[in-house]
Structure formats: structure tokens, C-alpha cells
Structure 1
Amino acid sequence: MEAFDNFWAVYSNLVLTLGTNALLALSIYLTLSCGMLAMANAAFMGIGAYAAALLTMNYEAPFALALAGGMAAPALAAFAIGKPTLRLSGVYLAMATLAFGEVVRIAILNTESITGGALGLNGIPPSTQWWHVALVLVLVLFGLWRLNRSRIGRAFEAIKEDDTAAGLMGIDVAGHKLLAFVLGAMIAGLAGALNAHLTFFIGPNEYGFDRGVEILTMAILGGINGLLGPVLGAVTLTLLPELLRSLNDFRLVFNGLILVLIVLFLPQGVWDPVRLRQWFKRKGGQA
């Protein structure tokens, strides 16, 4: 028991970060599963983090209410920008959502009286416990699992394959894209709210372009052919720097090399159910 206590004292933040990163990867998985390359998840995370932190610090809101606010604020923002931006696709949608993220970052920097500007917010109550992250992750995974097997999930898949054909089949393409966008924003905002009450401090630079690319990389690296893929990608990308810490100055070199090898030899991501089924069939045939 003492060994576990020592481990938890050192690595508790890392373990909880695994959970919040998994939520972020699932948030962008949701939009990718609908065929949208939207890069606003880091901005939605920031909106959720600041909304929850301000509710806690300025209004002494209960933790549950702060989390709800952290989900509602980015959902409203996603709904507001979703109507005009989701008419775009591919790289144009990515550019538009990246621009939105930069607008959010600049707005945070220039509202010092509310957000603390470049100095950020410090002294956020450490309300996030391990079971909060675990429970939220399980609920989100269960909710997305049910969604994938529902009529809405099948519509998402049809839109991803061919949105024109999906529209001809009677699917409300614009409505379903907006729904995926808003739900992804809510999950990203929830991750931001949990993270804000874990790290005690948030600043605008935490939710910029680099963070957005990291979230996308987690989902693509793990694979978007199933719910486990983004989670595995988040775990891999979060743990690699820690596992390679003993390499000192060469850590980032090996980190990048491992990621390149995964992309080259596992183009569908770490979690690829089709590849795994084929592998098991070959093993079964050899036996």
C-alpha cells in the first residue's frame, strides 16, 4: 500500500492527464466520424476551462455546476459558429476553425479584467479527483458507443462516406454535422473544465495551435475506426515523453521517430479492427 501511495503522489497528475487527453481525442473523433476536419477543439477546451474556473473562483459555484458551465459555454460557441463554417469542408473547414481558435486566444489575452490576460488564472480550487475523470470517461465512452449504434451514428457514417449521397437518401447533412460539432465541443469543454481544476492554473497559450494539432494527432495515431483508437492514441502520446525521459536530450528525437514509424507501418492507427481480424484469421489458419 505504501508503494502505491508513493506512486500516486508522484504520478497522479500524469494518470489524470491520460483521462482528460482521452476525452479530447474522443471529442475530435466525433467530428472526424462525421467526415469533418474541424480544428477548434483546443479552443473549445479553453472556453470550457475558463468558464468552469470563473464560475468556481468568482461565484463559488459547486463543482458539478462548474463542469456543466464548462460544457454549455463551448456548446453555445460551437452552435454559433457551426452554421456558417460547416458549409465548408476539408482544408477550408480546418482553416476556418483554426482561425476561430486564434480569435478565442486573442479574446482571452485582451480581457485581462476577466480572464487575467497573458498571466492566466491562478489558484483554481483543486476539485478534480481521479474518480471524476474515470467516471466521465466511462460515461462518454458509453454514450458514444450507444450513439454509434443508433440511427444518428449510422447517419454520421453515411455522411463521412459521401455526404452528397447521404443527402439524397434523406439525411439532414447540415443538421447532423452541427450535432457532431456541438457534441464534440461539449466533450472538449468538459475535458478543459476537469483539467483546470486539476492543474490549478490555466493560460491562453495552453489552447493554441500546438494543442489543436496534438489533439488531432492523438485521434489519428490511435485510429478513428473505433472508440478505443482515440483513447489508445491519447495514452501513447501522453506516456511517450515520460517513458523516454531517461534519454534526456534525445527524448524528443526518439519520440518523433516512434510516431513516424507508427504512421508508416500502421496507417489506419494503432487500433484497426479490420487488421486485427485478419491477423487472428491468419493465426487461426496456421494453428
Structure 2
Amino acid sequence: MEWFDNFWSVYSNLVLTLGTNALLALSIYLTLSCGMLAMANAAFMGLGAYTSALLTMNAGAPFPVALAGGMAAPAVMAFIIGKPTLRLSGVYLAMATLGFGEVVRIALLNAEGWTGGALGLNGIPQLTQWWHVALAVVLTLAVLWRLRRSKVGRSFEAIKEDETAAGLMGINVGASKMLAFVLGAVIAGLAGALNAHLTFFIGPNEFGFDRGVDILTMTILGGINGLTGPVLGSAILTVLPELLRSFKDFRLVVNGFILVAIVLFLPKGIWDPAQLRRWFGLGAKKERA
């Protein structure tokens, strides 16, 4: 097992980052599955990261308590801002949630006594183990799988297809949107808490506009037709920069070309079961049968 020890010593952070990025992609998948283009997940991740880090560093809280705090803080904030913002839709909702993310980043920069300001928090204890991340991903997938097949999941799908028709069918549109928004914030906060106790350091610029776009790109790239898509998209965008290291200065260019090609030829994301069936001829086999 020496080869595994050598592999783990070099790539352990990358492997664990695959898990935290999968959680982030699943967090925004929830809001997209309810027809909402909300871009606050990076801010929720930051709230979860800072809350959990402060609990362990300043309050001496056990790791499970810190994780719970990292999930609770963004959930409460999502509920507070969700009341006014979820009345919006489309690009207006995206702009409002992006504005909230910028407010959180500025607040983290200015609260130097608590957050360290621009210097961030350093010396966070490394408490995240591989099984913490694996368990978090498995439990999140199990909960979302069950939710997707429940009455709540069917309500989300109806709202995404036609919000007005869903309301006329008796679905509580406002409550369903709020539930998706808060659950997405909880998952993003969990990812932030796990990441904070993995990397020793967090800074406010890690949770800005760029991170929000990265999270959205992961999900759109993989596809929102199921839970497999966001996980697949997050894995590709996490591993791809490492695979392209040999291109050195041209790495980002090659990375961009690959993403553009995927978007052009797979507009519904990589994980599109209907497209995959057509490619592998499964549809033709059914017709012949």
C-alpha cells in the first residue's frame, strides 16, 4: 500500500476538494430544480466557513457542533433574505442574490476583530477527515434523492416548468421556493465548514463573485436532469486544471475551449440521459423491439 500512501500524501486535498465541490454543486442544483437562478451560494459557503472556524478557534466547540453552526448560520440568513428576494425571478433574482453575496464579502472584510479582515483567518485546526466529506456527500445525495421523488420534489419540478400553473394547482409556491433556498444554503454552509477545517486558512475573497460563477458552472456543465450531473460537473472542473498542468501558461485557454465545446454540443449538460441513449443506440433498440 506504499503507492496509496504516496498518492494520498500528494493528492489528499484534491480528493477531498472533489467532495466539497460536489456539495456546492448540489446546493445550487436545489434552487435551479425549483426554477430559481439564485447566486448566493458562495456567500452561504463563506458564512458556514467563518461560523464553524470561529466556533472551533474562539469557543473551543467540538467539530460536530462547529459543523452544525456552519449549517445553521447560512440557513437563518437564507430565510431572512429569502422573504423579499424570492418574490423576484430570472435575472432580477440573480442580481439580488449577487448583491447579497457582495454585502457578505464586504462585511467579512470590515469585521477585522472577528474575521481577520483582508488577512482572513489562519491556523484553523485541520479536523476534516476523508470520511467526514464522504459521509456528507452520501447523506446529501440520499436526502436529495428522496426529496426528488417526494411530493416536495414534484412541487419543485412543477414550479420550474410553470410557476403560475403550479400555483393554480394548489402548490404553495412561496413555501416551496423558500424550502429549496434554505436547504441549498444548508448544504453550501456544510461545504464551507468542511473546507475551512481542511485548508487551515480562509479569506473573504474566496467567497466572492468568481466562486459563485464556478459553483453555477459546475452544475450547468454536468446538467440538472438528475443528481449525477452536478456531481459529475464538479468533478470535471476540479480535476481538469490538474490534468492540464503540462500546458502551463495555456492551461486556462485549453480549459476554456473544452468547456465551450461541451456547452455547444451538450446544451443540457454532460449528464443528459436522453442524449446518451441516442448516442448509444438504446432508443433504436427499443423501437425495433
**Do the structures match in fold with TM over 0.5?**
yes
Q: Give 1:164 shift.
A: 0.3
Q: Secondary structure at the match of 2:58?
A: helix
Aligned to 1:257: 257
- What do the CA deviations read for 1:135-177 (whole angstroms, capped 9, x no partner)? 1000000000000000000000000000000000000000000
Give, in whole Å, the separation in 1 of the partners of 2:274 and 2:144: 20
The residue type equivalent to 1:186 in the other structure is V
- What do the CA deviations read for 1:230-257 (whole angstroms, capped 9, x no partner)? 0000000011100000111111110000
TM-score, structure 2 normalization: 0.98
Aligned to 1:244: 244
Deviation beyond 3 Å, 4+ runs, structure 1: 282-287
The residue type equivalent to 1:284 in the other structure is K
Matched pairs, number: 287
Aligned to 1:116: 116
Give, in whole Å, the separation in 2 of the partners of 1:221 and 1:80: 30
Give, in whole Å, the separation in 2 of the partners of 1:138 and 1:73: 22
Aligned to 2:152: 152
Aligned-residue RMSD, C-alpha: 1.2
Distance change (3 Å), C-alpha of 1:149 and 1:81? same
Aligned to 1:281: 282
Aligned to 2:43: 43
Give, in whole Å, the separation in 2 of the partners of 1:237 and 1:276: 21
Give the 5 Å matches for 1:198-277: 198-277=198-277
Q: Give 1:282 shift.
A: 4.7
* Structure 2 gaps, min length 5: none
Give, in whole Å, the separation in 2 of the partners of 1:143 and 1:282: 31
More divergent stretch after superposition (241-250 vs 275-284): 275-284
Distance change (3 Å), C-alpha of 1:282 and 1:154? closer
Give the 5 Å matches for 1:56-71: 56-71=56-71
The residue type equivalent to 1:106 in the other structure is I
Aligned to 2:105: 105
* Structure 1 gaps, min length 5: none
The residue type equivalent to 2:282 in the other structure is K
Give, in whole Å, the separation in 2 of the partners of 1:62 and 1:82: 30
Give, in whole Å, the separation in 2 of the partners of 1:250 and 1:112: 38
TM-score, structure 1 normalization: 0.98
Give, in whole Å, the separation in 2 of the partners of 1:269 and 1:192: 25
Give, in whole Å, the separation in 1 of the partners of 2:191 and 2:273: 27
Q: Secondary structure at the match of 1:178?
A: helix
The residue type equivalent to 2:110 in the other structure is N
Q: Give 1:277 shift.
A: 2.8
Aligned to 1:3: 3
